[in-house]
Amino acid sequence: NMKLGGLGPDYETIKEKVSKLSLQKEYSRQIKEYNMRNITVVQRSPVKAQVSSVSRQKALEYAKKIPRPKTFIAKQPEQEVQGVLPQAPKGPSLPQIPSLESLWDRHKREKEFVAAFKALHIL
């Protein structure tokens, strides 16, 4: 009298699940009805609305008294802009550019150092 698994759907377990779901839905419906009957709607007092309007009025008055920051004119007239050209700074403030020969010599020395390190298996 043993029942082994089959290829089709198991209607007994499906019926059990459906019955559990229907019980859960019925329970949730009853709870919802109970809560709807017992919950009292609390109306907001109109005093709270007046308080917020008073505080808003105070904030607006305060904002009117605060001095506004000064705005600067960012754009210059076109005639003045055309007359002024950027100029390079004068004097020894620019760094000296090394000659190509000195850079080539430095490159050769550094190549020799790298070759020596590779020979010693350091790199």
**Each residue's pLDDT tens digit, 96-108:** 777 888 899 999 9
Q: How many helices (H) and strands (E) does the chain have?
A: 4, 0
Task: Judge whether 86 lies within some domain.
Answer: no
Task: Judge whether 97 lies within some domain.
Answer: no
Domain count of the chain?
A: 1
pTM above 0.75, yes or no: no
Task: Judge whether 28 lies within some domain.
Answer: yes
Sign of the dihedral defined by the CA atoms of residues 19, 21, 27, 33, in that order? negative
**Each residue's pLDDT tens digit, 16-46:** 999 999 999 999 999 999 998 887 654 455 5
Give the pLDDT band of residue 12 (cuts 50, 70, 90). confident
Q: For residue 25, give its domain range.
A: 9-44
Q: DSSP letters of 8-66?
A: S--HHHHHHHHHHHHHHHHHHHHHHHHHHHHPPPPPPPHHHHHHHHHHHHHHHHHHHHS
Task: Tell me 78's DSSP state.
Answer: H
- Higher pLDDT among residues 57 and 10, named by residue: 57
Sign of the dihedral defined by the CA atoms of residues 111, 112, 118, 122, in that order? negative
Task: Judge whether 57 lies within some domain.
Answer: no
**Each residue's pLDDT tens digit, 66-85:** 888 887 776 655 555 555 55
Give pLDDT, residue 82.
Answer: 56
- Higher pLDDT among residues 30 and 8, named by residue: 30
